[in-house]
Amino acid sequence: MKTIDIKENERLDLQDRLDFRKTQIERNRLGQFATPPALAVDVLKYAFQNMGGGKKHLRFLDPAIGTGTFYSAFAKIFGLRSSHTAIGYEIDPHYGRPSQKLWRNFPLDYRIADNHNRIADICGNAHIHLYRAVLLR
């Protein structure tokens, strides 16, 4: 099994444990509902095909990273190249601290901080367009 597949299994387990410790009402406040892994992989496959899968230097950003569903899919589809850079923001330490620990040996700059919306405006829309593209296929 590949390193990223092992890590993804650890992430799924962590996601379950962290979600379980919060109520639905608490999770609703910050929209703390993870993307299904298969959808994240589909989005990244689409990105690979349409945004230059062969490119050497890619910059990944998730403004609301949670446990790292999209980063995991990014690493799986684009590979763990040292030339890629990756940043993720997570406002809630409940998800942030254990997830930062989970990814500590990966080239991901995991920041427990507010994304200050301006990033979400850009990337949130990009995600929505990608979802739409995937759903329309």
Ligand X SMILES: C[S@@+](CC[C@H](N)C(=O)[O-])C[C@H]1O[C@@H](n2cnc3c(N)ncnc32)[C@H](O)[C@@H]1O
**Given the rule CB under 6 A, which residues bind ligand X?**
30-35, 62, 64-66, 69-70, 89-92, 95, 114-115
Q: In what order do the strands lie in the sheet with 59-62?
A: 59-62, 85-90, 109-112
Minimum gap (Å) between residue 38 Cβ and ligand X = 12
Minimum gap (Å) between residue 43 Cβ and ligand X = 9
Q: Which one, 95 or 103, has the nearer CB to ligand X? A: 95
Q: Which one, 58 or 123, has the nearer CB to ligand X? A: 123
Q: Which one, 4 or 91, has the nearer CB to ligand X? A: 91
Token code pair at residue 88? 């993720």
Token code pair at residue 47? 């990105």
Q: Which one, 58 or 64, has the nearer CB to ligand X? A: 64
Minimum gap (Å) between residue 30 Cβ and ligand X = 4
Q: Quote the CA–CA distance of 12 and 68 in Å, as a whole number.
A: 10
Q: Quote the CA–CA distance of 63 and 90 in Å, as a whole number.
A: 7
Token code pair at residue 90? 């997570």
